[in-house]
Amino acid sequence: MKVLVAVKRVVDYNVKIRVKPDRSDVDLTNVKMAMNPFCEIAVEEAVRLKERGVASEIVAVTVGPKAAQEQLRTALALGADRAIHVETDERVESLGAAKVLAKLVEQEQPGLVILGKQAIDTDNNQTGQMLAALTGLPQGTFASEISVAGEGDEQRLQVTREIDGGLQTIELTLPAIVTTDLRLNEPRYAKLPDIMKAKKKPMDVKQPADLGVEVASRLTLLKVEPPAERKGGIKVGSVDELIDKLKNEAKVL
């Protein structure tokens, strides 16, 4: 089974982001970028499926600027076989990304598509679900465990999902779209020889127009502001004083 994995280049999760002085957006000048953590989990799951003999080929894809090829190379170093970069400098929203991915699904005909459940920049949590709608495929979102059972037309994907308050298991026909949650796996680090080998793996570069997809934004970003500043409070001298403050001042006990 061919597996398509989508990855996104985002701000490294350790970076403290700042809003631009003119409040037009966040300031990403000279900020460390990395693969979105949930996408790392998606790549890892695809690699594990290949190691288990379930996946035959892993195709990593991204939609974004030229620099996003760095994240595709990371995916290749981790075990993807080839990559597709759909290059654009537009601020691509989830719907635009999903439309690009839907075209790639049509071309590549994967048995399974794995995406991160959300990117830690826009925090939208939409692309996988939208891709499922556009391709008419079933979706297993927020997955903490996936397994394939059966053969041929009887093949089904069991997905255990992280839902509010617990876990839900559903069964999907294939092909299917899966989005990853934190507990699905713990991603490995790329080894140096694999990073070298990744440089030689094939990477196909396309434009959204090549796919006949319009990725321009539908939403206007009017402003971006820092959240209400949280003021530091006071130090208390003892456990007794802490309990007193929580009871009588904060009134939360």
Partner 1 sequence: MSILVLAEHHDGVLSGATAHVVAAAQQIGGDIDILVAGEDMAGVAEAAAKLDGISRVRVADHGTYAHLLAEPTAALIAALAGDYSHVLAGASTTGKNVLPRVAALKDVSQISEIVAVDSADTFARPIYAGNAIATVQSADPLKVITVRATAFDAVGETGSASIEAVDFVADNAQSAFVKEALAESDRPELGAARVVISGGRGMGNGENFKLLEGIADKLGAAIGASRAAVDAGFVPNDMQVGQTGKIVAPDLYLAVGISGAIQHMAGMKDSKVIVAINKDEEAPIFQVADYGLVADLFEALPELEKKL
Choice between 27 and 57, CB closer to partner 1: 27
Tell the smallest beta-carbon distance from residue 210 to partner 1 (Å). Answer: 21
Q: Strand, coil or helix: what is 55?
A: coil
Tell the smallest beta-carbon distance from residue 68 to partner 1 (Å). Answer: 18
> Does 220 contact partner 1 by CB under 8 A?
yes
CB atoms within 10 A of CB 233: 9
Handedness of CA 62, 65, 66, 68 (dihedral sign): negative
What would the x/- binding string for partner 1 be over residues 92 to 111, using CB under 8 A?
-xxx--x-------------
> Does 239 contact partner 1 by CB under 8 A?
yes
Choice between 5 and 10, CB closer to partner 1: 10
Task: Assess contact for 48 and 127: CB atoms under 8 A.
Answer: no
Using CA atoms, how far apart are residues 61 and 8, in angstroms rounded to an integer? 9
The only residue of 152, 166, 193, 212 in contact with partner 1, by rule CB under 8 A:
166
Using CA atoms, how far apart are residues 215 and 63, in angstroms rounded to an integer? 10
The only residue of 158, 188, 194, 201 in contact with partner 1, by rule CB under 8 A:
158
> Does 53 contact partner 1 by CB under 8 A?
no
> Does 48 contact partner 1 by CB under 8 A?
no
The only residue of 66, 109, 149, 163 in contact with partner 1, by rule CB under 8 A:
163
Q: Looking only at residues 70 through 89 of this chain, which bind partner 1 when binding is defined by CB under 8 A?
A: none
Using CA atoms, how far apart are residues 99 and 94, in angstroms rounded to an integer? 9
> What angle (nearest 5°) sits at the alpha carbon of residue 80, between those of residues 79 and 83?
150
- Binding residues with partner 1: total (CB under 8 A): 76
> Does 65 contact partner 1 by CB under 8 A?
no
CA atoms within 13 A on the CB side of 16: 2
Q: Looking only at residues 125 through 144 of this chain, which bind partner 1 when binding is defined by CB under 8 A?
A: 125-134, 137-139, 141-142
- Residues making up the chain, counted from first to last: 253
